Amino acid sequence: MLAKAPRVGFNTWNNFGEDISDQVIRETADKMVELGLRDAGYEYLVIDDCWSKRERDPVTGKIVPDETKFPNGMKAVSDYVHSKGLKFGMYSCDGVMTCARYPASFDHEFLDAQTFAEYGVDFLKYDNCYRPRTVDQALLYRRMSAALKASGREILFSACNWGDVEVETWARSAGIHMYRSTGDINDSFESFKNIALSQINRDPVIDWTRPVDELHETLRADGGSCSNAPGCFNDIDMLTVGMFGKGNVANKGCDATDYKTQFALWCFMGAPLMLGADLRNFLKPSFKPMLDLVTNKGLIALDQDEECRPAFRATNQPWGKGPLVLGRLLSGGDIAVGFFNLGENDSRMYLYFETLGIPDAAGINLEMTDVMTGEDFGVKREFVDIVVPKHDCRVFRCKPVSR
């Protein structure tokens, strides 16, 4: 089965944009191996938009790689990526042009899928720009899905329609393996904060003046991730971890604490982890904390938890001001809890286990372990409170134990 767990890899868009080339892909593949990323699970190397010439071949009708960027053709690039023990991904779009105005696959789906199969592609990101407005999106995604299946090669289908027309309700039936539920990320704290909260904002409007007991029924946080399950995952966009304000989606940039929170949020939500920073920097000693972060075993295990359940919001504390507490049921009976301080002040955050489904009367305590450091945080009864500095987070794995 493709996509038993959320997919993990690298995508060119966030850092390189249109400045992609044979050399960039080969060097990135080398770095994925040298830095231990491949062995940590980063499996796919994906070329995003801007890889082709501006026109299709007039005779064959095929999309043609830009030979100034890819002088050896695409099969050679794909072979190189495969020789490193990685999988190779490419990009197209359901419209007449890609988002950066290169030829796209509308009405050429079967020909293009065949072309991707000839290149040895294992993953196709499929965007949603310049689509004829009268055509149903789900139908176009179903069509490319069928074309990929007919290509004779196993190709993971990654849909990128930014959460439009409630994609989470039809992604699975359209044969999609991961569906983008958000607009484009940029390299700033506000951007990834808004993406994380957008997964929760689909909740009914909550009236915080109501008594706490009455609020419980409104504590849902599954938003766009509600279809997260083996075979099809909610994609909240490529990571900007380690970009530090440089690259194609540069904005204000983030600091190391912000990136820690970004990566922890993506892992907590069980999202695909597609790195976007220039990995050629990651051997520098100053990037060691970033490399340690994206290879953190505890966080990756949380991301890849085999039951792939979505997270839920687990606090009555008004998160609009910053504190966001999430819970997530894991395989084997553990429960993950995450304290994310998305506000601008250090904050005391608290969690009543009641909101995890464990009232005090059940006679159950939680044995808490810090997911990132492996440190024992002790056995807690009924609730836990913790001070989290601004923009920072703490993530725990909790084992329910009888008193």
Catalytically active residues are 127, 184
**Residue 238 or 371 with smaller CB distance to ligand GLA:** 238
Q: What's the half-sphere exposure (Cβ side, CA atoms, 13 Å) at 314? A: 28
Joined tokens for residue 246: 């440089």
Query: Rounded to the nearest whole angstrom, what is the least distance from the CB of residue 249 to ligand GLA in the complex?
Result: 9
> What is the closest distance, in whole angstroms, from the C-beta atom of residue 160 to ligand GLA in the complex?
5
Distance CA 396, CA 401 (A): 15
CB-based burial label for 142 (10 Å; 0-12, 13-18, 19+): middle
Which residues, 6+ apart, have CB-to-CB distance to 133 below 8 Å? Answer: none
CA Rg value for the chain: 22
Q: What single letter denotes the amino acid at residue 131?
A: R
d(CA 139, CA 297) in angstroms, rounded, equals 39
Q: Which residues of 104-245 form beta strands (DSSP E)? A: 123-127, 156-159, 178-180, 187-188, 233-235
Distance of closest approach, residue 136 Cβ to ligand GLA, in angstroms: 20
CB of 158 or CB of 296, closer to ligand GLA:
158
Integer Cα distance of 368 and 321 in angstroms: 26
Of 12 and 115, the one with the shorter C-beta distance to ligand GLA is 12
The two tokens of residue 212 are 């706490």
Q: Answer yes or no: are the C-beta atoms of 242 and 282 closer than 8 Å.
A: yes
Q: Is residue 284 exposed (0-12), middle (13-18) or buried (19+ Cβ within 10 Å)?
A: exposed
Q: 274: which residues sit within 8 A by CB, 6+ positions away? A: 7, 8, 9, 10, 11, 44, 46, 238, 239
The nearest distance, CB 395 to ligand GLA, in angstroms, is: 26
Q: Which is nearer to ligand GLA, 49 or 112 (CB)?
A: 49
Positions in the binding site for ligand GLA (CB under 6 A)? 13, 48-49, 98-100, 127, 160, 184
Residue 241: burial class (beta carbons within 10 Å; 0-12, 13-18, 19+): buried
Least separation in angstroms between residue 185's CB and ligand GLA is: 8
Q: CB nearer to ligand GLA: give 89 or 338.
A: 89
Minimum distance from residue 263 beta carbon to ligand GLA (Å): 18
Rounded to a whole number of angstroms, the minimum distance from the CB of residue 127 to ligand GLA is 5
If you ran DSSP here, which 8-state letter would residue 309 be given? P
Q: CB of 205: closest distance to ligand GLA in angstroms?
A: 28
Query: Residue 93 or residue 314: which is nearer to ligand GLA going by CB?
Result: 93
Question: Closer CB to ligand GLA, residue 43 or residue 48?
Answer: 48
Torsion sign, CA atoms 22, 26, 27, 31: positive
* Contact of 106 with 96, CB cutoff 8 Å: yes
Integer Cα distance of 92 and 128 in angstroms: 9
Burial class from Cβ neighbours inside 10 Å (0-12, 13-18, 19+) for residue 382 reads: middle
